[in-house]
Structure 1
Amino acid sequence: MSDLLIVSLSAFTDKAPDPTAVKAGPLGFALWIFMIIAVVVIGFSLVRQLRRAQANKDAGLFGDEPVNRDDRADTPSTTDER
């Protein structure tokens, strides 16, 4: 019974602010720009790590056969050229 009384009283005291009075302001804008910069930095880091992992794989550090990328460019194509 006391829960019902608390809920009914809080419904009258909890008013939502006017939508035109609520604005993000400069702090919200700065946070938004910071998050964009963070995503870009994480993206560059991911690409760098993937390139490093591919280079290590090509060098045979993961138990694969070492690959020389220059030899692959000189091999003839398997497509039929007419």
Structure 2
Amino acid sequence: MVLQLLIAAEEGPDANDVVAGWTGLIVLLAMVAAVAFLGWSLTKQLKKADRAAQEGVYDDPAERGGSGTDR
């Protein structure tokens, strides 16, 4: 009985029956688009933060003479 199950499990489908489907391609393309969008968004936010830091929007503890651990 166990031997029959092992033999059946090892056979698997025919190589001609296994194909890459459209669903996998669509999921892959969606993930690539999501990563590209997140990278674009991160770059945009980092540029905004850098611009705000240059304009002095953020409080810099080094300019106050503090150690940066003050709360």
Equivalent of 1:29 in 18, 25, 28? 25
Q: Deviations over 1:15-70 (max 9, x none)?
A: 322233211221111112111211111111111111111012112233236xxxxx
Of the three residues 12, 15, 37, the one matched with 2:7 is 12
How many residues are aligned here? 60
Counting only pairs closer than 5 Å after superposition, residues 1-82 of structure 1 correspond to structure 2 as 8=3, 10-14=5-9, 15-64=11-60
Give me the TM-score of the superposition, normalised by structure 2.
0.63
Q: Distance in 1 between matches of 2:55 and 2:5?
A: 67
- Structure 1 portions without partners, runs of 5+: 66-82
Between the aligned partners of 2:36 and 2:24, the Cα distance in structure 1 is 19
For the pair shown, which has the larger CA radius of gyration, 1 or 2? 1
